[in-house]
Amino acid sequence: MTRFKSGLIRLGQIVAGVILFSSTFVSGTPLASTIVSASTPVPTCSSNQLEVAVAWGDVAAGNIGVPFLIANVSKTACSLEGYPKLTFVPSSYLKKTIKVSDGGGMIFVALKPHVVVIRAGAVDSFGMDFVDALNQQYPYGAACTVQDVYVTLPVRPSSFLTNFETSVNFNFCYSGFGVDVTSIEAGPLPKE
């Protein structure tokens, strides 16, 4: 728990720095992540190099997009490629379970997975999209409300599996028991 709290404090500092940096940046090399070619070997991230947090939710005509930030809290660059895996708690109601589809495409643009390098102190992102107006015959309350989302990133294999816990509350029954997730992409905000 201490690692989680200190990681969130550090993540908050990085996000504040990225916002300040991007609003005052004039010239030079930005502190953003980059998409690299296969000729630039950067090791795959390990879970202890990263922290994950939810930025905020974005709404558009019954669709909701939730951007997740991935911060490199280590002192060295590393790379990620692919889709995060999401686990929801709770995740089912009346024997219907949330299905996660890779791709995105509602609020956040669907991008093919590619290698993204996260520089030390930089932030990358991915997005989660869902509908918020289906199956309204189901209850609006705890029985259908996600309390936590556990994020598993495509990191270097280690002796134990690391899930990053985030708090996102939404009615998964009203989402039609489904969400879309984008691939990991460079920069602090998924493409809209």
Local structure of 65: helix, strand or coil: strand
- What are 6-59's pLDDT values in tens digits? 444 444 444 444 333 333 332 333 444 454 445 668 999 998 999 999 987 655
pLDDT of residue 100: 93
CA-only gyration radius of the chain, Å: 17
3-state SS, 11-41, equals HHHHHHHHHHHHHHCCCCCCCCCEECCCCCC
Q: What is the mean pLDDT of residues 137-158?
A: 84
**How many Cβ atoms from other residues are within 10 Å of residue 30's Cβ?**
14
Q: What is the mean pLDDT of residues 120-147?
A: 85
Top-confidence residue, 57 or 127: 127
The domain locations on the chain are 2-181
Nearest-angstrom CA–CA distance, 49 and 162: 11
Structure tokens at 112: 């093919």
Average model confidence (pLDDT) across the chain: 77
End-to-end, the C-alpha distance of the chain in Å comes to: 33
Residue 65: is its pLDDT beyond 80? yes
Confidence of residue 173 (pLDDT cuts 50, 70, 90): confident
For the residues 83-98, what does the mean pLDDT come to? 92
Phi, psi of 100 (to 5 degrees): -100, 125
- In whole angstroms, give the CA distance from residue 65 to residue 57: 6
Helix (H, G, I), strand (E, B) or coil at 168: coil
- Residue 190 reports pLDDT greater than 50: yes
Confidence of residue 102 (pLDDT cuts 50, 70, 90): very high
